[in-house]
């Protein structure tokens, strides 16, 4: 702990790909869905830990636009868990965290959409860490959504000069509008890929791939990722 407080290199925005839940459960002879339950509890612990260390934005990948291709029973189990997680979001309010759901809510069940509206409304005044819950999130979907928003502004006359559109204008149409780019992406589970997570925001992100399935991820793994991050030389194209 004290080591972290002396560290000036705490990333402002951390992204987490909490992968490996299904494999973790199967390894223990349990149904895959049991892994999601454990994974969700681990997330709550890590979110509190990240807030304590001074992380300002934490984005967690909970369900991708591609995850609909899983068997219907698995999708239903994940949705049930997310439903409970969102209903329980009170606990984050108590921690003064602001909760934002990133992604297209349209295909989600209407009660989940209502929960999303509720937590946005009820946590919007909180001043602690922002927790972005990427749910039915896809990086490409987000980019298309932003492109559509800009095109409709053009159609409505709010944009008149197409050549004057900047990268900042584009970023302001993303689900993460107003937030800093992600500094560090931690992917548990052993795979070394982005799987359509934060495509725009990760342009200069650092990555760590802890060799642990997400339900086994502990604050120590988070510390290790932050230590690795602090040792990186971020040049942003400069020298």
Residues taking part in catalysis: 19, 67
Q: Quote the least distance from Cβ 31 to ligand IPE, whole Å.
A: 12
Q: In this chain, which of 7, 67, 113, 218 binds ligand IPE, going by CB under 6 A?
A: 67
Asked if 141 interacts with Mg ion (CB under 5 A), we say no
Among Mg ion, ligand IPE, none, what does residue 175 contact (CB within 5–8 Å per kind)? none
Pick between residue 20 and residue 139 the one whose CB is nearest to ligand IPE.
20
Alpha helix segments (H runs only) across the chain? 2-5, 21-27, 32-53, 72-87, 90-94, 110-123, 139-155, 167-171, 219-231
Contact residue for ligand IPE among 4, 7, 12, 23 (CB under 6 A): 23
Given ligand IPE, Mg ion, none, residue 7, with its beta carbon under 5 to 8 Å by kind, binds none
Q: Which of 10, 11, 18, 19 binds Mg ion (CB under 5 A)?
A: 19
Near ligand IPE by CB under 6 A: residue from 40, 78, 116, 174: 78
Residue 183 contacts Mg ion per CB under 5 A: no
Sheet holding 13-17, edge to edge: 98-102, 130-137, 57-64, 13-17, 184-187, 206-208
List 38, 49, 50, 64, residue binding ligand IPE (CB under 6 A) = 64
Cα–Cα dist 39/48, whole Å: 15
Q: Is there a contact between 136 and 104 (Cβ–Cβ < 8 Å)?
A: yes
Ramachandran assignment for 33, one of left (phi > 0), alpha (psi -120 to 50 degrees), beta (any other): alpha
Q: Is residue 20 part of the contact set for ligand IPE (CB under 6 A)?
A: yes
What letter does residue 201 receive in the DSSP assignment?
A: T
Element (H, E) at 159: none
| Interacting residues toward ligand IPE by CB under 6 A | 17-23, 61-64, 67, 78, 189, 191, 193, 195
């Amino acid at each position: 702990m004290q080591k972290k407080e002396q560290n000036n290199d705490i990333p402002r925005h951390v992204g987490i790909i909490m992968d490996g839940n299904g494999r973790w459960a199967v390894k223990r002879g349990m149904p895959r869905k049991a892994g999601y339950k454990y994974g969700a509890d681990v997330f709550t612990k890590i979110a509190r830990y990240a807030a304590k260390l001074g992380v300002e934005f934490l984005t967690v990948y909970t369900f991708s636009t591609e995850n609909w291709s899983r068997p219907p029973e698995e999708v239903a189990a994940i949705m049930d868990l997310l439903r409970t997680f969102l209903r329980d979001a009170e606990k984050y309010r108590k921690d003064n965290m602001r909760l934002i759901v990133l992604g297209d809510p349209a295909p989600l069940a209407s009660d989940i959409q209502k929960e999303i509206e509720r937590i946005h409304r009820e946590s919007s005044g909180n001043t602690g860490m922002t927790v972005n819950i990427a749910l039915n999130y896809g990086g490409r979907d987000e980019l298309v959504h932003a492109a559509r928003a800009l095109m409709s502004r053009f159609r409505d006359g709010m944009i008149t000069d197409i050549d004057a559109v900047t990268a900042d204008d584009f970023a302001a149409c993303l689900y993460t509008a107003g937030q800093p780019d992600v500094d560090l992406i931690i992917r548990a589970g052993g795979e070394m890929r982005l799987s359509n997570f934060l495509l725009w925001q990760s342009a200069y992100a650092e990555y760590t791939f802890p060799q642990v399935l997400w339900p086994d991820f502990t604050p120590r793994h988070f510390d290790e990722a932050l230590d690795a991050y602090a040792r990186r030389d971020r040049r942003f194209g400069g020298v």
